[in-house]
C-alpha cells in the first residue's frame, strides 16, 4: 500500500503544482477604475474650455455694430450665441413658445493648420425648445457639432448659422431680412419667417455689456426686441399656422462668471403697448443681485434707456420645485419705479426646465400690470440658470 | 462487497505506480493538447471579436464605400438632412507601436460629438484633457492597461509606425474601462478624433465607414438606401464579425482535428492500461467471480477504475492545457496575423464551455477506451479467467476477425472521404475511420509478420532471436495495442510531414513562377501575406524611373466587397511582356487579351473560385466607387497567398471603377547585364526619406515568403511533436506492462541459465522489432494520410491544388523515429527485467 500512497501523494502534488501554475498564468491584473471626468462626453470635451482667456480677443470698449457683418461669427472671441425666443399663436388662439439657440464655443485661441478638414477649434451647441401651452407639454432638444466639414458654422454674407439641419438663413446673399428659421427634433418642428420689426438695440454701454469689475469681463451684445414672426409649428402629425413676435439676442465675449456669481435670471418682456423690457440679474452665492446686473427699457418709439440694478425691483412671488430636484422661482413682480412700470410675470407652463447637458429653466411667460397707470399685458421669455447645476451654458456669463 | 472491490482496485493501481502514472500522463497529454488548441484559437478569435464589438458599438447599420472608404461629404450630406438618422463617422486603421512590445494598435478615429449613441469607451472614466482631441494633431486616448504596458502616461508621446512612416501620437488622456471585457478590447486600441486619424492614416477626405442606428428597421433602411449616392452601400455590422469567423474556420478546424489525433493516441494508452490491469488480475477476477460477483459488478469495477483515472488525468490535462495554451496563443496569433488580419490576443479567454468540452472529451475518451477491457473482465467465466494463455489464444483467434472488421471500417472511411461534399466533418470522420481501420489490421498483420520473422531472426541471433519474435505473437493482446498506438502517432507525423513538404514544394515553385522581377519594393505591412499599406504619393513613379530598370510593374492590394463579402483585390499595372501568373481555367493568350481589352474583366484565384463556386465565364459583383457592378471572370489563376481567395484586375480597370490611387508595391525588372545588388542599392537611395520601404531582391523576397510560410506551419509542427510525445508515453507504458507481466517467464529463463545481458538483449530485440514493425506500418498509413490531407482536407479547407510529393527522407525518418521511440521506451523495462532476481519473480504468485 505504500506504493499506492506514493502514487496518490505524487499525483496530488503534480495536480496542485499545475493548479498553482494555471492561477499564476491566468491571473488578471486588477482593473483600476480611475475617477475623473467622463471621456468623450460632450461636457468633457467642452468643459475643459475654461482653460483661460489667453490669446482670445476681449470686449474692452464700446464699438459700433456693423450689419450684416456682425450677424456673422466673431471667431476671435471664445463664446458667441445667436438666440431666438418667441411667443406664437394660431388664429384660434392656441399658444406656443419657442427657444432656438446656437452657441459657438472656441476650444482654444489658436490651432495649428490641419491636413484634415475635420480639425477645428470651434464647436457649436444648439438648444431647441417648444412650449405647447394648451397641451401642457414642453419639448427640448440639444445638439452638438464641430464647426467643420459643413456640419455647423456661421457666415455673415449670406447670413447663415446652422448646426446640421437646424438653421437660420438670411433672405439672400447680401440681405439678411427676413430670416428663415428651421428646426426639428423628436416629432416637433418649427419653420418661421422673421421680420426685423423694431431696429436693433445695443445693450449696456453702446453695446458693451459689463459683467464684472475686471476689464474685459464684458461682452458685445445687441438685440432685435420685437420681430414679427409667422410660420408653422408641427407637433407630431399636426401642423399649425402661427404668428407672433420673436426676440433675437446676439452676444459674444471671452468672459466667464465672476467670482461669487452663481447664475442669472434673465427677462425679455414684450408689452402690449409696444414697449419692451430686458433685465438680467446676476446672482451671487448669498442670493443677492450682483451690482453688474443690468437692464434696458425700450419705449414704443425713441431711444432705449439703460437700467441699473437699483432701477429695477424684482420680487419672487412663487417657486416651483422641479421633479428632477432643483427649485426655481416661478412668479415675479417686476417694478421699474422710474418708468412707473409694475408687472406680474407668470410662466405659461411651470415645467419648462431643459434637462440637457446643462440644466436650466427657460420658458414662455405672460405678464400683466400697469404702466403709467394704464393696464398692460404682454408676453415674454425668462431664463433661469445656476439653480440645478453649478455649470451654466458655455460656462460664461454672457447675459 | 463494494468496499472490497474498491480496495482491490486501489491496491492494484497502487502496486504499479509507474504504469498508473504513465496512463494518467497519457490521458493528461491528450486532453491537454485538445484543450490548449481550443483555448488558444478561441482566445485569439474572441480577442478579435471583442475589439470588433467595441469598434462596431451599438450600430445597427453601416454605410460603406469602395476600396478606399467613402468621401466625408457623404456624412455631411446625411447629417444636414431633415430626417437624419443617428450617425457617426469612423476612420479605422492599424499602426504599430514603436516602443515597448511593439504591439499592433487599432486606430479608431471618431467624432466625440456623434459617439454617445454608439460606443461608451470609458464609463469608468478618463483622466486627462479631452479637449486636445479636436485641436491637437495626433492627440490620442489610450486604455489604462495599454498605457501601463507601454510605459506611458497622460502627456507622453507614443511613437508609432504607419506603413513604414514614423509618427508621434500624444496621449491626452487615459481611458478606464468599466469592465474586464472592455479593458481587454482597449488593450490594442488607440482612440482619436476623426481629424487626427485621417491625417495619421493618410485618409484625409475619406471615412472608413459611417455607423448608423436606424430606429425604424428595414423600412428606414430601404428609404435610406434609395437616397444614397452611387458607390455607397448600406450593410449590417454583423457581416464583418461573421466574415472573420468564416475566414478562419478552416484554419481552426484543422488545428482542432490535429489536436484530436493526440487524444486518439491517448485513448490507445488507456485501452492498454485497462487491458493490462484486467490481464494482470485475471486470477483475482476469476476468484471474485467464483465468490459470486456478477458480471455487471466486475464490469462496473473496471469502468470505475477507469473513471477515477479519467477524472484525475483529465483534471491534470485541463490544467496542463491552460498552461500550454498560454504558450500556443502566441503561435496561433502569429499565424492568424500572417494569414488573415491583425489580432492582438494577450490573454486567454477561459470559458466554462471550453473547459466543459475538455472534461467531456477526456472522460468520454477514457471510458470508451475502457469499455472493451471491462467487457473482457465481465465476460469471462470463473475458470477461463484464471488462464492467461486463453486470453492470448482468444486474441490470436480474433485477429482475422478484427482484420476483417478493420477492412469494413476502412471501406467506410474511404467511402466518407470519397463522398463529394465541401464539408470538412465527413472528411475528418473518414480520416479517423481510416486510422481506426488500420489499427484493427495490426494484430493480424503483426502475427503473420512476426511468425515469418522468427526464422531470419533465429538465423541471425539464435534461439533468443526466435524467442523475441515469438514473444511478440505470444502476447499479441498487448503488443498489438502498443504497435497500433505507435503506428498511429508515427503515421500522423508522416502524413502531416508529407503534407507540409508537399505544400511547401508547391508554394516554392509557385513563388518561383510568380516572382519574376528582380527587385520588389513595398512598405512594411502588419499582415505578412497581405501588403495593403501604400507608398507615399509619387514615390512609386520615382522608384520605377530608377536607372537600370528595363520595365516595371506595380500592384495595389486592397479590400473590396465581392458579393457582399470583403475580399482581397489586386490591381496590377503589368510590366511589358511579363504576366507571371499561371492559369487553372482559361487559355493564357485569350485571358490576357480580354483583361486588357475589356473594361470590366477580372481573374479570380483558385480558392476564391472554390469557396464561392465561381468559374470561367461567371460574373462577380463588386461594390465599386461607381456603385455595384458585375465583372466578368475571364480566368482562374493559381494563388497560394490567400486561402480565402483574391481577385485580380489590371490597374486601368481598377482606376476606372475606384477612386483609390494608392500603390502597395512595385516590382522592377533589371536591364540585361544590370547588377541586381547595385540596382537594389540605387533604389534604396532614391526611396530614402520619410517612409521606410522594404527593398528586396528576388531571392530575398522568396526567402522571406518561405519564412512566413514556415512560420504559419510552426503550430502544426508543434502539434506533431505533441502527438509523438503522447505516443512515446504510450509505447513506454505498453512495453513496461508487457515486460512486467512476463516477469515470471523471464525468471524461468534466467533460472534456466540466461545471463542478465542475454535477457537484456532479448528484451531489447523484441522492443526493437516492435518499433520496426510500427515504423513499417506507419509508412503506408502515413502516405495515405498525406494523400487525404493534401487532396481532401486541404482541398476542402482552402481550395488549393497541391502536388503531393513523397520525400523518402520523411519515410526514413518515420521508421527511425519508431525504432528510436521503441528502443528508448524499452530501455527501462529491459534493464529492470535483467536485474530482477529470478527467485523473487518466481515466488510472486
Q: Residue A42 pLDDT > 60, yes or no?
A: no
Distance from C-alpha of B66 to C-alpha of B661, rounded to nearest angstrom? 12
- The pLDDT score that the predictor gives to residue B124 is 43
φ, ψ of residue A41 in degrees (nearest 5): -95, 155
Task: Report CB contact under 8 Å: B131, A6.
Answer: no
Residue B784's pLDDT is 92
Counts for chain B of helices (H) and strands (E), in that order: 31, 22
Nearest Cβ partner of B14 from A7, A46, A119? Answer: A7
From chain A, pick out residues whose CB is under 8 angstroms from the CB of B76.
149-151
The domains found in chain A, sorted by start residue, are 59-111+118-395 (2.40.370.10)
According to the model, what pLDDT value does residue B387 have? 57
Q: Which of B319, B345, B362 to mutate to test binding with chain A, by most A CBs within 10 Å of its CB?
A: B319
Distance from CA of A322 to the nearest CA of B (A): 26
From A3, A148, A164, residue closest to B80, measured CB to CB: A164
Q: Could you tell me if residue B250 is inside a domain?
A: yes
Contact A40 B24 (CB under 8 A): no
DSSP B330-379: HHHHHHHHHHT------S----HHHHHHHHHHHHHHHHHHHHHHHHHHHH
Looking at per-residue pLDDT, the higher value among A324 and A375 belongs to: A375
Q: How far apart are CA B456 and CA B809, in angstroms?
A: 27
* DSSP per position, B241-254: HHHHHHHTHHHHHH
On whether the CB atoms of residues A184 and A21 are closer than 8 A, the answer is no
Contact at CB, A42 and B130, closer than 8 angstroms? no
Cα torsion angle, B715, B717, B721, B723, sign? positive
Is residue B299 domain-resident?
A: yes
Question: Which of A220-224, A280-284, B279-283 has the lowest average pLDDT?
Answer: B279-283
What is chain A's alpha carbon radius of gyration, rounded to the nearest angstrom? 27
Is residue B397 situated within a structural domain? no
Residue in chain B lying closest to A125 (CA): B113
User: What is the rounded (10 degree) CA torsion for B374, B376, B379, B382?
Assistant: -100
Based on the fold, state whether residues B97 and B208 are members of the same structural domain. yes
Name the band, by pLDDT with cuts 50, 70 and 90, for residue A65. very high
Q: Could you give the angle at the alpha carbon of A205 between the alpha carbons of A227 and A213, nearest 5°? A: 125
Per-residue confidence band for B655, with pLDDT thresholds at 50, 70 and 90: very high
Residue B282 located in a structural domain: yes
- CB within 8 Å: B111 and A118: yes
Q: Return the pLDDT at B529.
A: 57
The predicted pLDDT at position B176 comes to 79
Q: Quick one: pLDDT at residue A76?
A: 92
Question: Tens of pLDDT along B811-827?
Answer: 888 888 888 877 877 77
CB–CB contact A119 B133 (8 Å): no
Domain end (from B194, B211, B236)? B236
How sure is the predictor about A36, in pLDDT bands with cuts at 50, 70 and 90? very low
Report yes or no: B204 at the A interface, CB cutoff 8 Å: yes
The region of weakest confidence among B64-68, B178-182, B524-528, B551-555 is: B524-528
Residue B790 lies in a domain: no
Spatial separation of the C-alpha atoms in residues A112 and B717, rounded to whole Å: 54
pTM of the model: 0.78
Instruction: Say if the Cβ atoms of A4 and B116 lie within 8 Å.
Output: no
Selecting from A10, A29, A118 the residue whose C-beta is nearest the C-beta of B198 gives A118
Predicted local confidence at residue A393, as pLDDT: 45
Given a cut of 90, whether residue B120 has pLDDT beyond it is no
What pLDDT sits at residue A389? Answer: 64
pLDDT of residue A37 exceeding 50: no
**What value does the mean pLDDT take over residues A31-52?**
43
Mean predicted lDDT score pLDDT of chain B? 83
- What does the pLDDT read at residue A216? 82
Q: Are residues B552 and B657 in the same domain?
A: yes
Instruction: Return the pLDDT at A48.
Output: 40
Does residue B193 sit in helix, strand or coil?
strand
Which chain A residue shows the shortest CA-CA distance from B173? A39
| Residues B86 and B232 grouped into a single domain | yes
- On the question of pLDDT at A12 being above 80, the answer is yes
Q: Which three cell numbers stand for residue B664?
A: 502597395
| Contact flag A118-B194 (C-beta cutoff 8 Å) | yes
pLDDT-based confidence at A396, cuts 50/70/90? very low
For residue B742, pLDDT over 80 is answered with no
pLDDT at B412: 94
pLDDT in tens, B74-119: 999 999 988 788 899 999 888 889 888 888 888 999 988 888 788 7
Q: Residues B48, B70: one domain?
A: no
The more confidently predicted of residues A65 and B800 is A65
Q: Which of A1, A11, A114, A118 to mutate to test the interface with B (most CBs of B within 10 A)?
A: A118
Secondary structure element (H or E) that encloses residue B611, with its range = helix B606-612
CA distance A56 to chain B (A): 15
Q: Which of A39, A122, A190, A357 to mutate to test the interface with B (most CBs of B within 10 A)?
A: A39
Residue B843 pLDDT grade (very low, low, confident, very high; cuts 50, 70, 90): low
Structure confidence at residue B531 (pLDDT): 65
B682-706 b/e (C-beta count within 10 Å ≥ 16 → b): bbeebbeeebebbbbbbeebbeebe
Q: Hey, are the CB atoms on A117 and B176 less than 8 Å from each other?
A: no
What is the percentage of chain A residues whose pLDDT exceeds 70? Answer: 89
Give the separation between CA A76 and CA A111, rounded to whole angstroms.
12
Q: Scan residues 112-171 of B and list those with Cβ closer than 8 Å to A.
A: 112-116, 120-131, 133-137, 141, 144-145
Shared-domain flag, residues B174 and B266: no
The predicted-structure confidence for A348-369, as pLDDT tens digits, reads as follows 999 999 988 788 999 999 999 9
Out of B127, B195, B316, the one facing A18 most closely (by C-beta) is B316
Which pLDDT tens digit goes with each residue over B391-407? Answer: 667 777 788 888 999 99
Q: What pLDDT is recorded for position B389?
A: 62
Per DSSP, the three-state class of A67 is: coil
Instruction: Give the one of A7, A45, A114 whose C-beta lies nearest to B130's C-beta.
Output: A45
Once rounded to an integer, what is the mean pLDDT over residues A31-54? 45
Please tell me whether residues B381 and B242 are part of one structural domain.
yes
One domain for residues B182 and B101 = yes
Helix (H, G, I), strand (E, B) or coil at B499: helix
CB-CB under 8 Å, A34 with B176: yes
Q: B275: pLDDT confidence band, cut at 50, 70 and 90?
A: confident
Interface contacts A/B by beta carbons within 8 Å = 196
Model confidence at A29: pLDDT above 80:
no
Chain A residues touching B120 at Cβ < 8 A: 40
Query: Is cis: bond before A169, omega within 30 of 0?
Result: no
Q: Residue B796: pLDDT above 70?
A: yes
Which residues of A, range 89-118, sit inside 8 Å of B by Cβ? 107-108, 111-112, 114-118
Q: Give me the mean pLDDT over the B635-645 stretch.
A: 87
Closest CA to B723 of B33, B6, B7: B33
The more confidently predicted of residues B680 and B421 is B680
Pairing outcome for strands A305-307 and A313-321: unpaired
Q: Please check whether residues B262 and B366 belong to one and the same domain.
A: yes
pLDDT at residue B520 greater than cutoff 50: yes
Nearest to B183 by CA among B54, B76, B293, B75: B54
**Minimal Cβ distance to B72: which of A28, A117, A123:** A117
Question: Is A150 within 8 Å of chain B by CB?
Answer: yes
Tens digit of pLDDT for each residue in B215-274?
A: 877 888 888 888 888 889 888 876 666 666 777 777 777 778 777 777 777 777 777 777
- For residue B158, give its domain range: 62-236
B618 assigned to some structural domain: yes
- Domain membership of residue B113 (yes or no) is yes
Chain A residues whose CB is inside 8 A of the B348 CB are: 25-26
Domain identity same for B258 and B164? no
Residue A241 above 80 pLDDT? yes
Asked whether the predicted pLDDT for residue A17 surpasses 60, the reply is yes
Same domain, B556 and B679: yes
Does the beta-carbon distance from A40 to B115 stay under 8 Å? yes
Q: Largest alpha-carbon pair distance within chain A?
A: 117
Best CA proximity match to B798, nearest among B477, B340, B291 = B340
Report, as an integer, the average pLDDT of B489-502: 86
How much is the mean pLDDT over chain A?
A: 86
pLDDT exceeds 90 at position B365: no
Which residues does residue B137 pair with via DSSP β-bridges, in sequence order? none
Mutation site for A-interface testing, chosen from B71, B80, B129, B139 by largest number of A Cβ within 10 Å? B80
Give the pLDDT mean for B127-155. 82
CB nearest A18 (choices: B10, B174, B320)? B320
Residue B574 lies inside a defined structural domain of this protein: yes
Given this model, what pLDDT does residue A43 score? 45
Do B145 and B253 lie in a common domain? no
pLDDT band at A259 (very low <50, low <70, confident <90, very high): confident
The per-residue pLDDT for A394 is 43
End-to-end, the C-alpha distance of chain B in Å comes to 24
Domain boundary among B334, B359, B386: B386
The total number of structural domains in chain B stands at: 3
> What does the pLDDT look like over A116-157, one tens digit per residue?
999 888 989 999 999 999 999 999 999 889 999 999 999 998
For A25, the closest of B122, B134, B326 (CB atoms) is B326
The whole-number pLDDT of residue B211 equals 92
A26 reaches B (C-beta below 8 A): yes
**Nearest CB to B195; choose among A14, A114, A165:** A114
- In terms of CA atoms, which chain A residue is nearest residue B315? A15
| Least confident span in A135-144, B197-206, B281-290, B690-699 | B281-290
Question: Quick one: pLDDT at residue A35?
Answer: 36
| pLDDT of res. B380 | 67
Among residues B692, B724, B756, which one ends one of the domains?
A: B692
CB spacing of B130 vs A118 below 8 angstroms: no
Question: pLDDT tens across B165-206, in order?
Answer: 889 999 988 887 777 777 777 888 899 999 999 999 988 999
**Type and span of the H or E element at B170:** strand B165-176
Rounded to whole angstroms, how far apart are CA atoms B792 and B794?
6
Whether A164 and chain B come into contact, CB under 8 Å, resolves to: yes
Question: Can the peptide bond before residue B32 be classed as cis, meaning omega within 30 degrees of 0?
Answer: no
Asked whether B133 and B141 are in contact (CB, 8 A), the reply is: yes
d(CA B46, CA B29) in angstroms, rounded, equals 25
Write out the three cell numbers for B256: 482542432
Shared domain for B122 and B212, answered yes or no, is yes
Amino acid at each position: 500500500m505504500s506504493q499506492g500512497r506514493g502514487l496518490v501523494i505524487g499525483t496530488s502534488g503534480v495536480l496542485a503544482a499545475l493548479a498553482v501554475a494555471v492561477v499564476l498564468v491566468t491571473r488578471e491584473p486588477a482593473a483600476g477604475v480611475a475617477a475623473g471626468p467622463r471621456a468623450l462626453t460632450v461636457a468633457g470635451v467642452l468643459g475643459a474650455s475654461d482653460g483661460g482667456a489667453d490669446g482670445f480677443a476681449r470686449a474692452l470698449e464700446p464699438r459700433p455694430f456693423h450689419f450684416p457683418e456682425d450677424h456673422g461669427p466673431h471667431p476671435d472671441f471664445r463664446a458667441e450665441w445667436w438666440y431666438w425666443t418667441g411667443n406664437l399663436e394660431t388664429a384660434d388662439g392656441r399658444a406656443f413658445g419657442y427657444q432656438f439657440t446656437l452657441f459657438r464655443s472656441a476650444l482654444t485661441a489658436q490651432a495649428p493648420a490641419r491636413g484634415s478638414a475635420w480639425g477645428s477649434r470651434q464647436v457649436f451647441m444648439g438648444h431647441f425648445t417648444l412650449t405647447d401651452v394648451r397641451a401642457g407639454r414642453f419639448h427640448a432638444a440639444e445638439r452638438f457639432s464641430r464647426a467643420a466639414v459643413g456640419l455647423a458654422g456661421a457666415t455673415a454674407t449670406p447670413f447663415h448659422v446652422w448646426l446640421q439641419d437646424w438653421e437660420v438663413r438670411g433672405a439672400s446673399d447680401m440681405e439678411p431680412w427676413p430670416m428663415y428659421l428651421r428646426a426639428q427634433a423628436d416629432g416637433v418642428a418649427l419653420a418661421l419667417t422673421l421680420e426685423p420689426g423694431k431696429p436693433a438695440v445695443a445693450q449696456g454701454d453702446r453695446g458693451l455689456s459689463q459683467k464684472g469689475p475686471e476689464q474685459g469681463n464684458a461682452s458685445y451684445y445687441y438685440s432685435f426686441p420685437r420681430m414679427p414672426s409667422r410660420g408653422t409649428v408641427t407637433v407630431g402629425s399636426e401642423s399649425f399656422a402661427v404668428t407672433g413676435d420673436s426676440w433675437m439676442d446676439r452676444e459674444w465675449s471671452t468672459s466667464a462668471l465672476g467670482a461669487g456669481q452663481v447664475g442669472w435670471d434673465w427677462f425679455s418682456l414684450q408689452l402690449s403697448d409696444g414697449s419692451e423690457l430686458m433685465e438680467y440679474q446676476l446672482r451671487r452665492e448669498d442670493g443677492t443681485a450682483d451690482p453688474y446686473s443690468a437692464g434696458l427699457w425700450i419705449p414704443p418709439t425713441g431711444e432705449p434707456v439703460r437700467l441699473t440694478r437699483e432701477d429695477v425691483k424684482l420680487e419672487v412671488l412663487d417657486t416651483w420645485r422641479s421633479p428632477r430636484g432643483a427649485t426655481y422661482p416661478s412668479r415675479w413682480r417686476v417694478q421699474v419705479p422710474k418708468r412707473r412700470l409694475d408687472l406680474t410675470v407668470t410662466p405659461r407652463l411651470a415645467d419648462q426646465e431643459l434637462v440637457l447637458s446643462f440644466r436650466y429653466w427657460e420658458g414662455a411667460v405672460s405678464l400683466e400690470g400697469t404702466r403709467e397707470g394704464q393696464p398692460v399685458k404682454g408676453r415674454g421669455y425668462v431664463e433661469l440658470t445656476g439653480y440645478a447645476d453649478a455649470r451654466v451654458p458655455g460656462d460664461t456669463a454672457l447675459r | 462487497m463494494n468496499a472490497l472491490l474498491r480496495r482491490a482496485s486501489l491496491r492494484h493501481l497502487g502496486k504499479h505506480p509507474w504504469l498508473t502514472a504513465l496512463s494518467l500522463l497519457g490521458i493528461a497529454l491528450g486532453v491537454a493538447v485538445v484543450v490548449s488548441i481550443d483555448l488558444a484559437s478561441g482566445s485569439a478569435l474572441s480577442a478579435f471579436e471583442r475589439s470588433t464589438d467595441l469598434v462596431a458599438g451599438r450600430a445597427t447599420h453601416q454605410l460603406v464605400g469602395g476600396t478606399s472608404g467613402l468621401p466625408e461629404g457623404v456624412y455631411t450630406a446625411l447629417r444636414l438632412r431633415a430626417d437624419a438618422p443617428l450617425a457617426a463617422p469612423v476612420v479605422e486603421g492599424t499602426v504599430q507601436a514603436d516602443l515597448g512590445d511593439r504591439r499592433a494598435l487599432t486606430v479608431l478615429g471618431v467624432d466625440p460629438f456623434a459617439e454617445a449613441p454608439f460606443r461608451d469607451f470609458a464609463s469608468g472614466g478618463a483622466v486627462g484633457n479631452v479637449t486636445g482631441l479636436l485641436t491637437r494633431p495626433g492627440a490620442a486616448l489610450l486604455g489604462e492597461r495599454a498605457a501601463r504596458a507601454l510605459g506611458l502616461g497622460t502627456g507622453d508621446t507614443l511613437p508609432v509606425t504607419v506603413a513604414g512612416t514614423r509618427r508621434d501620437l500624444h496621449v491626452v488622456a487615459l481611458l478606464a474601462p468599466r469592465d474586464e471585457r472592455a479593458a481587454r478590447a482597449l488593450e490594442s486600441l488607440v482612440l482619436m478624433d476623426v481629424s487626427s486619424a485621417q491625417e495619421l492614416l493618410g485618409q484625409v477626405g475619406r471615412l472608413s465607414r459611417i455607423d448608423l442606428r436606424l430606429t425604424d428597421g428595414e423600412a428606414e433602411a430601404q428609404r435610406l438606401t434609395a437616397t444614397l449616392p452611387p458607390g455607397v452601400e448600406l450593410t449590417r455590422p454583423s457581416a464583418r464579425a461573421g466574415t472573420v469567423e468564416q475566414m478562419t474556420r478552416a484554419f481552426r478546424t484543422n488545428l482542432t482535428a490535429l489536436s484530436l489525433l493526440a487524444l486518439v493516441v491517448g485513448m490507445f494508452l488507456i485501452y492498454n492500461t485497462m487491458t493490462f490491469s484486467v490481464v494482470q488480475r485475471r486470477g483475482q477476477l476469476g476468484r471474485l467471480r467464483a465468490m459470486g460477483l456478477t458480471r455487471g459488478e466486475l464490469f462496473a469495477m473496471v469502468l470505475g477504475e477507469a473513471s477515477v483515472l479519467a477524472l484525475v488525468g483529465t483534471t491534470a490535462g485541463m490544467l496542463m492545457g491552460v498552461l500550454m495554451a498560454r504558450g500556443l496563443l502566441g503561435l496561433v496569433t502569429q499565424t492568424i496575423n500572417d494569414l488573415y488580419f491583425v489580432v492582438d490576443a494577450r490573454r486567454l479567454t477561459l470559458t466554462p464551455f471550453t473547459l466543459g468540452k475538455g472534461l467531456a472529451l477526456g472522460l468520454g475518451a477514457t471510458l470508451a477506451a475502457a469499455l472493451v477491457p471491462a467487457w473482457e473482465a465481465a465476460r469471462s467465466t470463473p475458470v477461463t479467467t484464471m488462464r492467461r494463455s486463453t486470453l492470448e489464444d482468444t486474441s490470436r483467434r480474433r485477429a482475422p476477425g478484427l482484420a476483417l472488421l478493420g477492412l469494413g471500417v476502412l471501406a467506410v472511411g474511404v467511402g466518407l472521404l470519397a463522398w463529394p461534399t465541401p464539408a470538412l466533418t465527413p472528411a475528418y470522420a473518414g480520416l479517423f475511420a481510416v486510422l481506426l481501420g488500420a489499427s484493427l489490421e495490426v494484430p493480424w498483420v503483426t502475427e503473420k509478420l512476426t511468425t515469418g520473422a522468427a526464422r531470419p531472426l533465429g538465423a541471425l541471433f539464435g534461439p533468443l532471436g526466435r524467442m523475441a519474435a515469438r514473444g511478440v505473437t505470444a502476447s499479441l493482446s498487448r503488443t498489438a495495442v502498443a504497435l497500433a498506438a505507435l503506428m498511429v502517432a508515427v503515421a500522423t507525423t508522416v502524413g502531416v510531414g508529407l503534407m507540409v513538404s508537399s505544400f511547401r514544394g508547391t508554394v516554392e515553385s509557385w513563388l518561383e513562377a510568380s516572382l519574376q522581377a528582380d527587385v520588389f519594393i513595398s512598405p512594411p505591412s502588419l499582415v505578412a501575406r497581405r501588403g495593403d499599406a501604400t507608398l507615399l504619393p509619387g514615390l512609386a513613379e520615382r522608384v520605377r524611373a530608377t536607372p537600370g530598370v528595363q520595365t516595371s510593374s506595380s500592384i495595389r492590394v486592397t479590400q473590396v466587397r465581392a458579393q457582399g463579402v470583403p475580399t482581397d483585390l489586386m490591381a496590377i499595372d503589368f510590366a511589358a511582356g511579363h504576366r507571371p501568373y499561371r492559369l487553372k481555367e482559361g487559355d493564357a493568350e485569350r485571358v490576357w487579351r480580354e483583361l486588357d481589352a475589356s473594361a470590366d474583366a477580372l481573374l479570380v484565384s483558385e480558392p476564391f473560385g472554390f469557396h464561392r463556386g465561381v468559374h470561367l465565364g461567371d460574373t462577380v459583383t463588386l461594390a465599386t466607387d461607381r456603385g455595384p457592378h458585375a465583372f466578368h471572370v475571364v480566368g482562374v489563376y493559381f494563388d497560394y497567398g490567400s486561402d480565402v481567395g483574391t481577385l485580380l484586375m489590371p490597374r486601368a480597370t481598377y482606376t476606372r471603377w475606384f477612386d483609390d490611387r494608392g500603390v502597395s508595391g512595385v516590382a522592377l525588372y533589371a536591364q540585361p547585364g544590370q547588377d541586381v545588388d547595385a540596382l537594389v542599392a540605387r533604389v534604396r537611395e532614391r526611396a530614402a526619406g520619410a517612409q521606410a520601404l522594404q527593398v528586396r531582391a528576388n531571392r530575398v523576397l522568396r526567402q522571406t515568403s518561405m519564412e512566413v510560410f514556415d512560420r504559419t506551419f510552426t503550430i502544426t509542427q508543434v502539434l506533431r511533436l505533441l502527438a509523438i510525445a503522447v505516443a512515446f508515453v504510450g509505447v513506454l507504458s505498453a512495453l513496461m506492462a508487457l515486460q512486467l507481466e512476463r516477469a515470471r517467464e523471464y525468471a524461468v529463463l534466467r533460472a534456466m541459465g540466461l545471463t542478465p545481458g542475454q535477457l537484456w538483449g532479448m528484451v531489447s530485440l523484441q522492443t526493437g522489432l516492435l518499433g520496426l514493425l510500427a515504423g513499417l506500418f506507419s509508412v503506408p498509413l502515413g502516405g495515405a494520410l498525406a494523400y487525404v490531407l493534401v487532396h481532401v482536407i486541404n482541398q476542402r479547407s482552402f481550395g488549393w491544388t497541391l502536388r503531393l510529393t513523397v520525400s523518402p527522407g520523411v519515410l526514413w525518418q518515420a521508421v527511425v523515429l519508431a525504432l528510436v521511440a521503441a528502443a528508448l521506451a524499452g530501455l527501462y523495462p529491459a534493464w529492470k527485467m535483467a536485474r530482477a532476481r529470478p527467485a523473487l519473480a518466481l515466488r510472486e504468485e
